[in-house]
Amino acid sequence: MAVAVEQRREQEARPAARRRVAAKGNFAVAMAVRDVDIDVAAIYPITPQVQIAEKITEYVANEELDAEVIHVESEHSAMSAVVAAAATGARVFTATASQGLEFMHEMLYIASGLRQPVVMALTTRALSAPINIWNDYSDAFGMRDTGWIMIFSENVQEAYDNVVQAYRIAEHPDVLLPVVVTLDGYILSHTVEPLEPLGREEALRFAPKRRYGYRPTLNPDMPMSFGVVGVPAWYHEIKYQQVRAMRESRRVIEETGREFGRRYGRSYGFIEEYMMDDAEVALVSLGATASLVKAAVNRLRKEGVKAGMVKIRVYRPFPAEELVKALENVEAVGTLNRAISYGGVVEDPLFMEVATALALRGIVKPMASFIHGMGGRDIFVRDIVAMYKKLMEHAKAGTSAKRTYFYGVKGHNPDDDQKM
Amino acid sequence: MEALKKPVRTIWDIPRPEQFAPGHNMCQGCAAALIMRMLMKVVGKDAIVVMGTGCVEVTTTPFPYTSWKNPWLHLAFENTAAGASGVEAALKALQRKYGVFKDRYIKVVAIAGDGGTFDIGLQSLSGMMERGHDVMYVVYDNEAYMNTGIQRSGATPLGAWTTTTPVGKRMRGEPRPKKDIIGIALAHRIPYIATANPAYPTDMMEKFRKAYETRGPSLVHVYSPCTPGWRIRNEHTIHVSRLAVQTGMWVQLEIENGKPRVTVKVPKRKPVREYLRIQGRFRHLTEEEIQKIQRMVDEYVEEINRWVGEQAIGPVVEE
Amino acid sequence: MTENQDVTRYLGKKYPTKWDEVPIAGIVPWPGNTEELKTHAWRTIKPVIDQEKCIRCRLCWVYCPDSAILEVDEEYVTSKGRRYKVSYKVDYDHCKGCGICAFECPVNAIQMVPEER
């Protein structure tokens, strides 16, 4: 951290976009939040997110950020407070992980149901029990149906860029939906990587604040009731509006990612394709796990295997069209996830959507789902290479795996998963 | 209408305009409806209301209708105080950074029932009070979960029948006395705490006014009879409220910066029997049980008198 | 500093008949409009104020949970020559017939009489 500060000071004179610092994911998020000049933050400490809260309060303490920080007594209150603050017209932020996200779960639906542009960072972490503070995506996948736009980050730079983009998306007059930006707990939250922050001026140029009152707010000069009883005669219509808002947010998300690339040289789409041009087998992944998959692809390519990868960056709204386009020509498709849907048709919730996206477009090909790395279990590149090889077996045999393969479980042969 | 600036000394000081609309679905004779009406007359238009789930919330806002003439926000059941904290913080930031509502004082008013305050909302209320948000918190206490159909809450008094404290062979209504929410507020050292009762509207409104004028957290705990829940006659709402004070079951308190005072003194107390016998929820009580409640109230009154340093509430005088 | 000209796009139509006329998130931007809803059908008995007996103490107006006692600047002179500047009238659209006004009236100037429909 001290290093990051020192470097930042040294480089203060350089043009904003070219300034490079070294920062952990947590600090990158805090910097982004500072740079977009939020008005209200309410964050309850939880590992591995807590440094975001620390850093933001430090910025406020040092007058680098003019914001109200609410030292809430729980995550439930954190989300309640930021939803209320957003409804009052403020630019807001919160961050959480794991149990904290579960504790505020009720409020996630209320944030989206009230159409409040809340932005949250989620340092993805396993869920209890047993208690585990390390990374997987159980928490993130638990909120997939809460009506939030969900953006996964692969590295520290993406975490920063995604947070800045999140404000532009969430507060866009055609969207007005909450956005969560994930960064893998510890793997990104606590890992120092090079970062090019935009700086406040540029971040605010990209995600400008809109005039007070452009969206409905709790305004005594224009009183409105927010959060009324959605009687059966109208609840259905209100929910359908939310569905439409989520569908239509795709345009703004796409524009935002493209515009970001135009201005700063780092383009963002719904998905990222890696070595997909001539790929014969592909794994679909997300978050920092995608970096490991890329490494596995590199290794396989050296062996002459035509492997490719598709990273899902925007998980909600789900990029079905983009994904299908990327995958339509491969021989076999696999998914690698760090979240479990117990008792599901397969246990990987990501696979269910990938398969549905393909099937609905008449594409049936050998498929397999893989789960590894629960609760911070290290995934090695060789494990992913093995998954690709398993996928190639399926491609050759023209069969799909009816059950999810669990890799990395001590004393367990993943092939046995198909027998039960 | 503007917030009430002058003290409310007589009922002629109560402003005529209504800041809370009729046509809501609160029950016939509901005290909460009256409390809201009086509260909104005090706080006026420059107030943002944050309301917890409960009777008042569901009865006043059936889409596409609202009884509220103020900006109003409902999030959920347990987070009224957290939502109010968020609104207050946002107002501060908007006023400071962008000059929104320049030179105007916008009050944040949190309203919740006893269940949303004593029980499920206690954590967020504690956080709000401890952090010192400039929020006036009004709890309308109908002494049970009335919205879901009369289940006991932490505010249900000793002996009261509810649907979850039924009267049978092994249970004789609520087995425990009411939670001391004022004591909890006191422990947070907030600048203004009061108890109020709709039978004493000027006293109640004066307390709302002082809570409004407080800069920092304030809590007004309002007694709110529920006609179906208490099994009382619709027209007895005010009558029961008055008896609660006259019997010492409810003491009209005000604690300004830690200094307590009884605002409605009762030189001669009526026996609690008079309060209990007109309510169906206490109908099952035996004379022995009534005496137990009487002794509890006697002790409570003694404690209050000691605390305020005078005999604010006198002895029971049978008429 | 409250410019709201653009906000109208979110506020739907009063009153909506289809999904895209509903205000965003089901917000109700029509303050106090429950007043348009009549609650008189709740009543089985109704209050009738005897203007002769009424001493204009204001208690019925104060205690009404439904704002259904109206305080109006209408002069009234009783048969005994007592002159009052205000009168109290019942808003029969919103009165639910709880009877608090009659019960609390110190001079029995309000009678609850059966509602006839």
> In this structure, what CATH number is given to the domain that contains residue B131?
3.40.50.970
Position C5 confidence tier, pLDDT thresholds 50, 70, 90:
low
> Sign of torsion, CA A81 A86 A92 A93?
positive
The pLDDT of residue A4 is: 47
The pLDDT of residue A19 is: 86
Closest CA to A279 of A258, A259, A300, A265: A300
Residue B316 burial (CB count, 10 A): 17
**Do C59 and C96 belong together in one domain?**
yes
The pLDDT of residue A3 is: 44
The pLDDT of residue A12 is: 47
**Do C50 and C91 belong together in one domain?**
yes
Tokens 């996948």 belong to which residue? A141
Average pLDDT over residues B221-230: 98
**Do C67 and C98 belong together in one domain?**
yes
Q: Which of B73, B101, B127 sits opposite A226 (nearest CB)?
A: B73
pLDDT digits (tens, 9 = 90+) for A276-299: 999 999 999 999 999 999 999 999
**Do C55 and C15 belong together in one domain?**
no
Average pLDDT over residues B36-63: 98
Q: Which of C11, C20, C28 sits opposite A228 (nearest CB)?
A: C28
Assess contact for A11 and A5: CB atoms under 8 A. no
Beta-carbon separation of A84 and B76 below 8 A: no
pLDDT digits (tens, 9 = 90+) for A205-255: 999 999 999 999 999 999 999 999 999 999 999 999 999 999 999 999 999
Q: How do beta strands A307-312 and A271-274 pair?
A: antiparallel
The phi and psi torsions of A149 (rounded to 5 degrees) equal: -70, 130
Assess contact for A387 and A407: CB atoms under 8 A. yes
Average pLDDT, chain A: 96
DSSP helix, strand, coil percent of chain A (3-state; round to 5): 45, 15, 40
Is A262 a residue whose pLDDT tops 60?
yes
C-alpha to C-alpha distance for A191 and A157, rounded to whole angstroms: 11
Beta-carbon separation of A212 and C20 below 8 A: no
**Do C61 and C87 belong together in one domain?**
yes
Query: Chains meeting C at 3+ CB pairs closer than 8 A?
Result: A, B
- Asked if omega into C15 is within 30° of 0 (cis), the reply is yes
Q: Spell out the domains of chain A, with CATH numbers in brackets.
A: 2-264 (3.40.50.970), 271-419 (3.40.50.920)
Is A267 a residue whose pLDDT tops 50?
yes
Is A393 a residue whose pLDDT tops 90?
yes
The phi and psi torsions of B305 (rounded to 5 degrees) equal: -60, -45
Average pLDDT over residues A137-162: 98
Q: Which of C15, C65, C97 sits opposite B64 (nearest CB)?
A: C15
pLDDT digits (tens, 9 = 90+) for B66-75: 999 999 999 9
| Two tokens, residue A347 | 């246990």
| Two tokens, residue B242 | 């008055």
**Do C19 and C55 belong together in one domain?**
no
Average pLDDT over residues C43-68: 98
Beta-carbon separation of A237 and C16 below 8 A: yes
Average pLDDT over residues A27-36: 98
| Two tokens, residue A170 | 């969430």
> b/e string for C53-92 if b means 16 or more Cβ within 10 A?
ebebbbbbbbbbbbbbbbbeeeebeeeeeeeeeebbebbe
Contacts of B97 in chain A (CB under 8 A): 39, 66
Contact with chain A for residue C24, Cβ under 8 A? yes
Is A5 a residue whose pLDDT tops 70?
no
Note the pTM of the prediction, 2 decimals: 0.96
Contact with chain A for residue B63, Cβ under 8 A? yes
**Do C81 and C25 belong together in one domain?**
no
Distance from CA of B259 to the nearest CA of A (A): 28
Share of chain B above pLDDT 90, in %: 99
Is B17 a residue whose pLDDT tops 70?
yes
| Two tokens, residue B259 | 């200094």
Share of chain A above pLDDT 90, in %: 95
Is A172 a residue whose pLDDT tops 90?
yes
Q: Which of B65, B100, B234 sits opposite C34 (nearest CB)?
A: B65
Distances (CA, A) of A118 to A167, A169, A170, B72: 8, 10, 7, 19
Count of alpha carbons within 13 Å of A410, Cβ hemisphere only? 2
Contacts of B4 (CB under 8 A, 6+ apart): B15, B41, B42, B43, B44, B205, B209, B212
**Do C76 and C107 belong together in one domain?**
yes
**Do C15 and C64 belong together in one domain?**
no
**Do C52 and C94 belong together in one domain?**
yes
The pLDDT of residue A18 is: 67
Distance from CA of A31 to the nearest CA of B (A): 19
Length of chain C: 117
Closest CA to A170 of A235, A75, A246, A241: A246
Average pLDDT over residues B216-241: 98
Average pLDDT over residues A352-359: 98
Residue A380 burial (CB count, 10 A): 15
| CATH at residue C110 | 3.30.70.20
DSSP A235-267: HHHHHHHHHHHHHHHHHHHHHHHHHHHHHHS--
Average pLDDT, chain B: 98
Average pLDDT over residues B142-149: 98
- B74, exposed or middle or buried, with CB in 10 Å at 0-12, 13-18, 19+? buried
Q: Which of C1, C2, C28 sits opposite A222 (nearest CB)?
A: C2
Distance from CA of B188 to the nearest CA of C (A): 33
> At A142, is the secondary structure helix, strand, or coil?
helix
Share of chain B above pLDDT 70, in %: 100
| Two tokens, residue A110 | 């209320």
C-alpha to C-alpha distance for A146 and A344, rounded to whole angstroms: 19
pLDDT digits (tens, 9 = 90+) for B84-125: 999 999 999 999 999 999 999 999 999 999 999 999 999 999
Residue B71 lies in a domain: yes
pLDDT digits (tens, 9 = 90+) for B273-292: 999 999 999 999 999 999 99
DSSP A335-375: EEES---TTSSSS-HHHHHHHHHHHTTT----EEEEE--GG
Distance from CA of A365 to the nearest CA of C (A): 39
The pLDDT of residue A358 is: 98
Contacts of B32 in chain C (CB under 8 A): 65
Q: Which domain holds residue B162?
A: 11-308
Complete edge-to-edge strand list for the sheet that includes strand B259-262: A225-226, B72-74, B47-51, B107-113, B135-141, B218-223, B192-196, B253-256, B259-262
Contacts of C28 in chain A (CB under 8 A): 224-225, 228
- For helices B122-131 and B80-98, angle between their N-to-C axes, nearest 10 degrees: 30
DSSP helix, strand, coil percent of chain C (3-state; round to 5): 25, 20, 55
In chain C, the residue whose alpha carbon lies closest to the alpha carbon of B104 is C1
Give the total number of structural domains in chain B.
1
Q: Which of C2, C9, C22 sits opposite A241 (nearest CB)?
A: C22
Residues 95-154 of B with CB under 8 A from A: 96-98, 100-101, 106, 123-124, 126-127, 130-131
Residue B58 lies in a domain: yes
C-alpha to C-alpha distance for B253 and B219, rounded to whole angstroms: 12
**Do C23 and C51 belong together in one domain?**
no
The pLDDT of residue C116 is: 85
Angle value at C-alpha A49, between A43 and A54, nearest 5 degrees: 60
Contact with chain A for residue C16, Cβ under 8 A? yes
Contact with chain B for residue C42, Cβ under 8 A? yes
Average pLDDT over residues C30-43: 97
Beta-carbon separation of C1 and B227 below 8 A: no
Q: Which domain holds residue C27?
A: 1-31
Residue B111 lies in a domain: yes
Give the total number of structural domains in chain C.
2
Contact with chain B for residue C106, Cβ under 8 A? no
pLDDT digits (tens, 9 = 90+) for A183-198: 999 999 999 999 999 9
Angle value at C-alpha A31, between A25 and A36, nearest 5 degrees: 130
**Do C93 and C55 belong together in one domain?**
yes
Is A17 a residue whose pLDDT tops 70?
no
Distance from CA of A70 to the nearest CA of C (A): 25
Residue B2 lies in a domain: no
**What ipTM is given for this predicted complex?**
0.97
The pLDDT of residue A2 is: 43
The pLDDT of residue A1 is: 38
Distance from CA of B94 to the nearest CA of A (A): 7
